[in-house]
Structure 1
Amino acid sequence: MIDYEAIRLIWWVFIGVVAIAFAVTEGFDFGVSTLLPLLGKTDVERRIIINTIGPTWEGNQVWLILLGGAIFAIWPAVYATLFSGLYAAMLLVLFALFFRPAGFDYRSKISDPRWRNAWDWGLFVGGTLPPVLLGVLVGNLLLGLPFHLDQDLRTFYDGSFWELLSPFALLCGVVSLLASSFHGALFLKWRTEGIVHERATQALSLLAPLLLAGLAAVMLWAFIGIDRPEITQMATTEAPSNPLNKTVIAVGPGWLQHFLAYPLMMLAPILAFLGLALAWLLGRGPTTMAAFLCSSVGLASILLTVGFALFPFLLISTSDPRSSLTLWDASASHTTLLLSFWITVIFLPIVLLYTRWVYKVLWGSITEAAIAKDSHTLY
């Protein structure tokens, strides 16, 4: 049997993998939707753009549902704190996502340009607002959130929606939007030909330097300008979850020291910049698949950097540091973690294999000729 400490760490890795899968797959979905009204000047061009992601966007979005479900099952205290304290922000993400199924399914049902243009901007909102808000969320995870736990371990959120919109968090939101748009532009270049292909290449030249500059600003700000808490005393990592059984203090801007204490973790931010820079370089030429893979490595490394920076914290409390949640004291029971582990080990590979098969079957360039040939069946 896997002991309690090990299974908690394993689930931290598993949920990180799901978050990376969501960022890489839904990232280009969001990016393509953001670029839709900007790169598509005619109805045919916009249909080309939409059909690059039309058959697979629903499957990609399932990673977000899986991520929320995994947090609910594995870290119920984190789920309760995030989804109650950040209720307004979560609803905004949800409302923005409503535009996506309706936009994909109804946009081409009526040929009226006003109808189609309205849904194009709806898809734009559905692809732009979620990455911004999710980026703001990541920024607030690094800054910490104002919440506390009472003696019955009930969560009380002490802040407001507007407090989430700090300059650092907004910068993270902008970088998140730039990252998804860059990733989406690479995907469009890979899946299209002709004028849309050329415009996607031009978009890369604009987005890449902004993304790298924004990412550098975020990392520099986090490393030297944000306080990091430190656990000075806690119960054994094998103990039942009780976040109040520890002592936490703020040690000042200690994020860089945290990475320097474990030098291998520095590979994550290095790979983030290297992957995105290589994607930019390769994206200027014909090697679109390699560029997209490098971009995927860059996005994955950004999330790894955030995960390593927070470890072992999951949520940092600014109003009561002792209430901060870690993977050692915010998890479900040992039995729940073990049962969920074996279910995941069995079914996750099946999901991955099926996803790979779907992309293989549906792959190919989306062209104007393909749109004309299947005008009534394509999006």
Structure 2
Amino acid sequence: MLFDYETYKIIWWGFVGVLLIGFALTDGFDFGIGMALPFLGKNDTERRVIINTIAPTWEGNQTWFIAAGGCLFAAWPLVYAAAFSGFYLALMLCLFALFFRPVGFDYRSKIADPRWRSTWDWCLFIGGFVPPLIFGIAFGNLLQGVPFRYDDSMRLEYTGSFLDLLNPFALLAGVLSVSMLAMHGATYLHQKTEDVIAHRARKVAFGAALITALLFAAAGVWIAGGIDGYRITAMPDASSSFMPIAKTVQRASGAWLDNYERWPLTLAFPATVFAGSLLVMLFSARRQPLLAFLSSGLTVAAVILTAGAAMFPFVMPSSLAPGSSLTAWDAVASHKSLAVMFWVVVIMLPIVVAYTGWVYRVVSGKVTEQHIRDNEHTAY
């Protein structure tokens, strides 16, 4: 095999992170536009303009979500199983919210009835708002630890409930996720539209960027002083596979900052969040939508990288039995499985990225009200 087992474990941590960032950068602005639809479009034509800015690409963008879920299952099967045990109701709620998107896009304009179209507009709002909120709440709970444990026979026990997930810090993380993707969607809408819609999108982007920076700062202060992190104090040889309960984990205040002290260069991630947010506000105010959109993407990626750098190597910490926490070392598939899937990703990921780039080049340009009138029966 090309790499040893430990190296593959680190590589797959990176692969999952890349796929999550790809999902947030592409499907993220779809979510942002969906949640803004009922507010930024003041009449039916304006709302159709907004919908058609993402019409050619929203289905393809969901590929990143499917790929991230598939890699999570294939590379970290224990995490996949534990996550669906702990977050089952939340994930089902997210799934049902996502159901509104395809039917909303396809059926909204089939009937020229204001009540019919308004109903689907709010369904698209739900499909854009609920998933980012749940994803943020899930990450907020991961940073606090999830109440599960394994017994000596590696049987999983989860003791939490759906309401336990809705704790104050997790809700803060959820709102941060919503504001971050609202910013990303607004910057994309700013560059894809003209006149009054672009003007409204520009103002939303400015406000959402400011809220994102403030919430991110609040979350950082909370993590530094009010949330216990996790650190491994004893573990078997990381070059071999072992059971999660074989290690010893300490829960301590400030432990999530350990990696930033160990690798100071990672401080660039949180710094980039603030810099990117400020650039979004600057470029939005100066009516430079492309630069604002690129700055927004940089901010979104930096938020995810900040959380990943803090948690490494933990993937799903356990608040109930810290020694049962799942990490990049002990929650992975076999050496051979990681090696085979490595080549699948190495071959397929550049193809997906290249095809995605080609699609966006083909559909580049602005969507206008005249375009909607000229394509009354074919546009969404």
TM-score (norm 1): 0.98
Q: Secondary structure at the match of 2:231?
A: strand
Q: State the identity as a percent.
A: 49
Contact 2:225-2:253 at 8 Å conserved across structures: no
1:114 counterpart residue number: 115
Q: Secondary structure at the match of 2:154?
A: coil
Note if 1:27 corresponds to 2:28. Answer: yes
Deviates more, 1:334-343 or 1:194-203: 194-203
Per-residue deviation, 1:54: 1.1
Per-residue deviation, 1:206: 2.6
Q: Residue by residue, what CA displacement relative to the aligned partner does 1:189-232 show, whole Å, maximum 9, x if unpaired? A: 00000110111112223322222111110111112211112111
Contact 1:241-1:332 at 8 Å conserved across structures: no
Distance in 1, Cα, partners of 2:70 & 2:110? 34
Unaligned residue ranges in structure 2 (runs of 5+): none
1:310 counterpart residue number: 311
2:368 counterpart residue number: 367
Contact 2:32-2:183 at 8 Å conserved across structures: yes
Letter of the aligned partner of 1:243 in structure 2? P
Letter of the aligned partner of 1:340 in structure 2? M
Letter of the aligned partner of 1:139 in structure 2? G
Note if 1:163 corresponds to 2:195. Answer: no
2:324 counterpart residue number: 323
Root mean square deviation, CA, Å: 1.0
Per-residue deviation, 1:250: 1.3
2:228 counterpart residue number: 227
Distance in 1, Cα, partners of 2:90 & 2:60? 23
Letter of the aligned partner of 1:267 in structure 2? A
Q: Residue by residue, what CA displacement relative to the aligned partner does 1:125-153 show, whole Å, maximum 9, x if unpaired? A: 00001101100011011011000012222
Q: Residue by residue, what CA displacement relative to the aligned partner does 1:324-372 show, whole Å, maximum 9, x if unpaired? A: 0110111000000000001111111111111111111111100011001
Q: Secondary structure at the match of 2:109?
A: coil
Contact 1:30-1:127 at 8 Å conserved across structures: yes
1:238 counterpart residue number: 239
Letter of the aligned partner of 2:114 in structure 1? P
Deviates more, 1:279-288 or 1:80-89: 279-288
Note if 1:347 corresponds to 2:366. Answer: no
Distance in 1, Cα, partners of 2:201 & 2:11? 39
Deviates more, 1:129-138 or 1:224-233: 224-233
2:174 counterpart residue number: 173
Per-residue deviation, 1:253: 2.7
Letter of the aligned partner of 2:304 in structure 1? L
Contact 2:241-2:330 at 8 Å conserved across structures: yes
Distance in 2, Cα, partners of 1:29 & 1:194? 21
Distance in 1, Cα, partners of 2:209 & 2:338? 40
Per-residue deviation, 1:286: 2.7
Letter of the aligned partner of 1:288 in structure 2? P
Distance in 2, Cα, partners of 1:75 & 1:205? 38
Contact 1:145-1:317 at 8 Å conserved across structures: yes
Letter of the aligned partner of 2:215 in structure 1? G
Letter of the aligned partner of 1:295 in structure 2? S
Matches within 5 A, 1:270-309: 270-309=271-310
Contact 2:148-2:318 at 8 Å conserved across structures: yes
Per-residue deviation, 1:257: 4.1
Contact 2:230-2:256 at 8 Å conserved across structures: no
Contact 1:189-1:198 at 8 Å conserved across structures: yes
TM-score (norm 2): 0.98
Q: Residue by residue, what CA displacement relative to the aligned partner does 1:293-325 show, whole Å, maximum 9, x if unpaired? A: 111111101100000100111110000000001
